[in-house]
């Protein structure tokens, strides 16, 4: 018999965070989070997303063994401001036992019905900057710090419990060595001259900070028309600024500004921390921080995390400016692999933007939906 318990204490929350460490202990592809960071992201006193969202965390037990977990989430900005009656769920992990996955999903659906929501969808996080989707293809590729990895049996559990695919995501990569700079070098000069634009590069994190709020404003404007987009609030901007921007290599953040110094495009790239996180085993101390700092400085793989272009400048070749700057940076650092984060399959504009790099789709993932 499966019993499901709500997380009520810090000790229970730590068990919630650490459950995947045992579930994936033999996997060479799973990338662990930093336990301390994961705990803080679930703390309403530390993560400002809880000003507009609420979450309940559940653990599943069978024969006195911990066998699963799930986070049941309501983003009230999504529900009330956008009129999107969705019950979210994420951080959904379980052993290959249909009784276990059903018991956890039943808890999520119960909360959704009690709040008069119409459907549930997952796995998703609190917002659009969180992890998304269950992996459906590409299980033999290492994960990243900004995606979930899962066993192959997950997909069949969703389907057997009556869920259907809601959104599909593609993950692509390409070899930097195959990049031809002539593709964007001349276009970069032409676009800058035609629209009065210029690039902004940074050598210090402190120089980026005055621009970050405007960058997130542009992020909101860029993606506002995509399905189920939830904007980044002012308090979240401050949170992400303090937690993440200072840890990203400043030379990996690129802006394009117009003659009035207004941002019209931006991109954020991160070094791959996957191997470093595996070595750290979820802990910064005593040696985890050194693995991460080494990866920050020396990783030959990079992940394109975010890219945003003002609607007035979309389809005008502005990305040529960004790519030209990254080419110079990556060549200097000896970058080998360029990896892109999950992108909605329906986002044809983003695929068009990358076509000159001959990307290969190496992973696919989906969210699943069920009416309540």
Q: pLDDT digit string (tens) for 175-196? A: 998 888 888 899 999 999 999 9
Residues 294-346: tens digit of each pLDDT: 999 999 999 998 888 999 998 899 999 999 999 999 999 999 999 999 998 88
Name the pLDDT band for 106 (thresholds 50, 70, 90): very high
Q: Is the pLDDT of residue 204 over 80?
A: yes
- The pLDDT of residue 70: 98
Residue with the two structure tokens 């984060």: 341
- The pLDDT of residue 227: 60
Q: Do residues 127 and 49 make contact, with C-beta atoms less than 8 angstroms apart?
A: yes
| pTM of the predicted structure, to 2 decimals | 0.92
Largest CA distance in the chain: 69
- The pLDDT of residue 7: 98
Name the pLDDT band for 72 (thresholds 50, 70, 90): very high
Q: How many residues does the chain have?
A: 372
The structural domains of the chain, with segments of one domain joined by +, span 2-170, 174-364
Looking at CATH, the fold of the domain delimited by 174-364 is given as: Aminopeptidase (3.40.630)
Show the tokens assigned to 165: 């695919």
The domains spanning 2-170 and 174-364 adopt the same CATH topology: yes
- 3 state SS of 121: strand
Residues 132-190: tens digit of each pLDDT: 999 999 999 999 999 999 999 999 999 999 999 999 999 999 999 888 888 889 999 99
CATH superfamily of 2-170: Gcn5-related N-acetyltransferase (GNAT) (3.40.630.30)
- 3 state SS of 86: strand
Q: Is the pLDDT of residue 248 over 80?
A: yes
């Amino acid at each position: 018999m499966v019993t499901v318990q709500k997380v009520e204490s810090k000790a229970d929350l730590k068990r919630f965070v650490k459950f995947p460490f045992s579930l994936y202990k033999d996997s060479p592809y799973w990338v662990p989070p930093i336990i301390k960071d994961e705990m803080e992201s679930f703390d309403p006193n530390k993560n400002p997303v809880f000003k507009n969202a609420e979450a309940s965390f559940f653990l599943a037990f069978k024969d006195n063994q911990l066998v699963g977990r799930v986070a049941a989430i309501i983003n009230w900005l999504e529900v009330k401001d956008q009129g999107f009656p969705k019950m979210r769920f994420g951080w959904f992990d379980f052993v290959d036992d249909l009784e276990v996955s059903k018991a956890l999903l039943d808890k999520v659906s119960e909360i959704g019905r009690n709040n008069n929501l119409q459907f549930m969808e997952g796995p998703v996080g609190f917002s659009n900057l969180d992890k998304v989707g269950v992996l459906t293809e590409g299980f033999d590729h290492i994960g990243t710090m900004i995606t979930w990895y899962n066993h192959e049996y997950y997909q069949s559990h969703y389907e057997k419990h009556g869920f259907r695919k809601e959104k599909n995501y593609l993950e692509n990569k390409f070899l930097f060595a195959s990049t031809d700079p002539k593709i964007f070098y001349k276009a970069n000069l032409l676009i800058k001259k035609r629209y009065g634009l210029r690039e902004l590069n940074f050598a210090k994190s402190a120089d980026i900070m005055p621009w970050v709020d405007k960058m997130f404003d542009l992020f909101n404007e860029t993606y506002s028309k995509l399905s189920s987009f939830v904007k980044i609030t002012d308090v979240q901007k401050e949170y992400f600024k303090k937690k993440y921007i200072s840890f990203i290599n400043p030379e990996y953040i690129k802006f394009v500004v117009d003659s009035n110094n207004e941002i019209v495009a931006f991109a954020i790239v991160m070094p791959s921390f996957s191997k470093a996180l595996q070595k750290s085993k979820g802990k910064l101390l005593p040696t985890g921080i050194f693995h991460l700092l080494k990866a920050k400085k020396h990783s030959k793989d990079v992940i394109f995390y975010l890219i945003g272009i003002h609607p007035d400048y979309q389809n005008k070749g502005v990305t040529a400016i960004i790519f030209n700057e990254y080419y110079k940076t990556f060549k200097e650092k000896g970058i080998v692999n360029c990896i892109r984060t999950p992108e909605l399959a329906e986002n044809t504009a983003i695929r068009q933007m990358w076509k000159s790099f001959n990307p290969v789709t190496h992973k696919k993932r989906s969210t699943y939906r069920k009416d309540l």
